[in-house]
Homo-oligomer: A and B are copies of this chain.
Amino acid sequence: MERDPVRAAVTLHDVAREAGVSLATASRALNGSTRKVNDAYRERVLAAAARLNYSPNLSAQAIARGTTTTVALLVADIADPYFSQIAAGVVREADSQGLIVTMAATERDAERELELVRALRGQRPRVMILAASRRDDDPSAEALAAELAAYESTGGRVAFISESGAAFREVRLENRAGGEALARALVALGYRSFAAIGGAEGIRTADDRLAGFRAGLESEGATLDRVVRPDFTRDGGYAGMQQLIADGLEGIEAVFAVNDVMAVGAMSALRDGGLVPGVDVAVAGFDDIPTVRDVTPALTTVRLPLEEIGRRALQLALGEAGDDGTPLATEVVVRASTPARG
C-alpha cells in the first residue's frame, strides 16, 4: 500500500499563477464577496482551480477571516438513540447552512465535559451545543460556566439542550410538563398506583421528568409508591426493574421509566422475570425513540421531536429564530404497553 511521494496541497497561490492573475484576484474570484471580478478573469481562475483540484484551506481562511464555519457538539453518548437523533438534527441543519460539525462525547462525566469544552474552544467554533445531561450537584459546573462565558465573550455562541442552569441560550425541553401529562394520561386509562425508575439522583432531566410525573399523579389523586434510581441507561432500566420485582411488585399497576432506553430494558427485565409487560404491569417511557414502536408491547411514551430539537439548538445558537414562538411539540403517545384498565 505504498503511496506516491507526498506533495504539498495545491494552494491559492498555485491557482493564481496557473490562471495568470494575482493572489488577490484569485481569492476574490473563488471566495470573495459577490461581483467584483471581471468575468473573463473569474472564468480563468475557476478553470484553473478545477484543473488543479484546488481545495481552499479552511484553517487558513478561518485565521484570515477571524471566523470559522464550525459547530461543536457535545453529547453524553453517541450511541444512545436520544443523542444520536439530536446529533442527526444538528448535523442536518449545519449542513444546510454550510457549517461543519465537530462532535465529542462526555461519557456522562462532568470533568470530561469541561476538558472537551476547553479543547473544542481551540477550534474557535462559531457555536457550541451542549446536549450532555446536566447534574445538579456537578462540582465543575462553575468552571464550565466560566469557560463558556469566556468563549461567548470572544464572540462564540453557546446553546444548551435542556437546562443550562446558567445564563446561556437553551432549547428548553418540556420534561416536567411531559411527565405530568403522561401521569394524567395513565390515570385516565385507569391506573392508580405507580412505581418509577428514575436515573441517578441529580440528573436534571431525570429529576424533572420524575417531578412532573409525581405532580401529575398527585393532582389526580394517584400515588407514586416506589422509586428506584439506577443508571440512566438500558442496563440501568433492566436493573431498576429487577429491583422493583425483588422488592415485590404487588400493588403496582404501572411503571414509569424516565426514558425509553431504560423503559425498554425494564420491559426485558419483566419478561425475564416471567411477567408480561402491559398485562401483569404496564410500562411507560419518555422520548419516543424509534425502537419503541418495535418492542412488544409497543411502548407508551412522551414524544420529543429529537431531531427538531437538534436543528433548533443550532438555529438558536446562530441567533436565527428557533427561540421564538412555537414550543416543542411534546405529546403523550399511548400504545399497547399501557392498555386501558377496566
Residues of A at under 8 Å CB distance from B? Answer: 1, 3-4, 6-9, 53, 55-63, 68, 70, 77-79, 81, 84-85, 87-88, 91-92, 95, 100-105, 118-124, 147, 150, 152-155, 167, 169, 234, 264-265, 267-268, 271, 290-291, 293-296, 307
Which residues of chain B come closer than 8 Å to A55, judged between CB atoms? Answer: 118, 121-122
| Complex interface: chain B residues within 8 A of A152 (CB) | 3
Query: Given the complex, which residues of B lie within 8 Å of A7, measured CB to CB?
Result: 153-154
Assembled-state Cα–Cα distance A124/B264 (Å): 42
Knowing A87-B78, A103-B91, say if A264 contacts B294 (CB, 8 Å).
yes
* Residues of chain B lying within 8 A (CB to CB) of residue A6: 153-155
Q: Which residues of B contact A167 (CB under 8 A)?
A: 1
Contacts of A290 in B (CB 8 A): 79, 234
Given the known interface contacts A6-B153, A264-B294, the answer about A57 and B63 at a Cβ–Cβ threshold of 8 Å is yes
Q: Are B8 and A154 in contact (CB under 8 A)?
A: yes
For residue A83, which residue of chain B has the nearest CB? Answer: B84
Instruction: Tell me, rounded to whole Å, the shortest Cβ–Cβ distance linking A195 to chain B.
Output: 20
- Contact indicator B91/A124 (Cβ below 8 Å): no
Known: A8-B154, A265-B294. A100 touches B88 (CB 8 A): no
Is A88 within 8 A of B78, CB to CB? yes
Q: Judging by beta carbons under 8 Å apart, are A124 and B59 in contact?
A: yes
Name the B residues within 8 Å of A264 (CB-CB).
291, 294
Chain B residues lying within 8 Å of A58, measured Cβ to Cβ, are 59, 122-124
A101 and B103 within 8 A (CB): yes
Beta-carbon contact of A123 and B59 below 8 Å: yes
Given A79-B307, A295-B296, check contact A120 B104 (CB 8 Å). no
29 contacts between A and B (CB under 8 A): A3-B152, A9-B124, A9-B155, A53-B147, A55-B118, A56-B122, A57-B63, A58-B123, A59-B59, A59-B63, A59-B68, A61-B122, A79-B84, A79-B290, A79-B307, A81-B81, A84-B84, A84-B87, A87-B103, A95-B104, A100-B120, A101-B102, A264-B291, A265-B294, A267-B294, A268-B294, A291-B294, A295-B295, A296-B296
User: What chain B residues lie within 8 Å of A1 (beta carbons)?
Assistant: 167, 169
The smallest beta-carbon distance between A151 and chain B, in angstroms, is: 8
Q: Give the 5 A-B CB pairs with smallest separation, nearest first.
A: A296-B296, A84-B84, A59-B59, A59-B62, A9-B154
Q: Which chain B positions have C-beta within 8 A of A101? A: 102-104
**A91–B63 contact, CB under 8 A?**
no
Distance of A122 Cα from B153 Cα, bound (Å): 28
Within the complex, what minimum Cβ distance (angstroms) separates A245 from chain B?
Answer: 17
Within 8 Å CB of A102, what residues of B?
Answer: 70, 100-103
Which of chain B's residues has its CB closest to A53's CB? B150
Given contacts A78-B87, A84-B84, 7 further A-B contacts (CB under 8 A): A3-B153, A59-B60, A59-B68, A60-B63, A77-B88, A79-B81, A264-B291
Q: Please, which residues of chain B bring their CB within 8 A of the CB of A85?
A: 79
Q: A3-B152, A3-B153, A294-B268 are in contact. Are A91 and B104 (CB under 8 A)?
A: yes
Among B3, B79, B234, which residue has its beta carbon within 8 angstroms of that of A294?
B234
A295 to B70 Cα, complex, angstroms = 39
Q: Which of B57, B95, B120 contacts A122 (CB 8 A)?
A: B57
